[in-house]
Amino acid sequence: MTAVRQHDALAQAYGAITAVVTDLDDADLQRPTRCRGWLVADLLFHVLCDAQRALVALASPAPGPADVDDVSYWRAFPPGGDADGARHAWWARRSAAAFDRPSGVVRIWSDTAPAAVRAASAADPSGHVVTQGHVLRVPDFLATLTTEAVIHHLDLVLDLPDAPPPGPLATRVAVATMDGLLSDEAVRPASWDDHEFLLKAAGRLPLTDRDRLELGEVAGWFPLLG
């Protein structure tokens, strides 16, 4: 996927999250999500941190070469999390709770997400950025942001049945990432749609007995990321 398309995918991913949260009242922002211990406002704050990280990275070009791409980047984050992940989860929850009202997180997200998208559109597609200790090409960096946004969009809407789903272009980027982690030699069950694939790849839904039978030894690779 070209850099322009990666920018479009990120715009769609962030725009879809905005469409989910904009009209939620404070009670809905305190509904549960698929991320254990996080309410909608907590998870939105976590994605807000990604948008802020994007602004910093895109404003600070780095020399290449890249040491990871949009797939291998995720291998640095083992499924199941670790002590640092648990600390971040607790920090994000306390940070979101520090707002006078949950809707305060929405206001900052609504300002920050479009700014991150504009920075992405202005970035040199042949350039590199540094984030979380790795160097990535700009298009690959945008793909990692899109993948995380799509998965967290699915996390956000657990208890929001009328919420719109992630957009198709953004979903294709996330699916391509999971396909890359799965490898060329493994094929996901044909019965899975894209959202089911993403939720099972991210460990949000367990594999069924039928899934394990169809996947064979590949079932042991799941979840593909945490």
10 located within any domain: yes
Q: Which domain holds residue 58?
A: 3-168
82 located within any domain: yes
103 located within any domain: yes
Domain count, the chain: 1
185 located within any domain: no
Q: What is the pLDDT of residue 96?
A: 87
> Which residue, 143, 145, 130, 147, is CA-closest to 65?
130
CB 159 within 8 A of CB 165: no
Q: Return the CATH number at 96.
A: 1.20.120.450
- pLDDT per residue of the chain (226 residues) written in tens, 0 to 9: 655 589 999 999 999 999 999 999 999 999 999 998 999 999 999 999 999 999 999 999 999 899 999 999 998 876 655 556 678 788 888 888 899 999 999 999 999 999 999 999 999 999 999 999 999 999 999 999 999 999 999 999 999 999 999 999 999 999 999 999 997 778 889 999 999 999 999 999 999 999 999 999 999 999 998 6
Bond from prior residue into 114 cis (ω within 30 degrees of 0): no
174 located within any domain: no
CA distance 24 to 70: 32
192 located within any domain: no
Read off the pTM.
0.94
225 located within any domain: no
17 located within any domain: yes
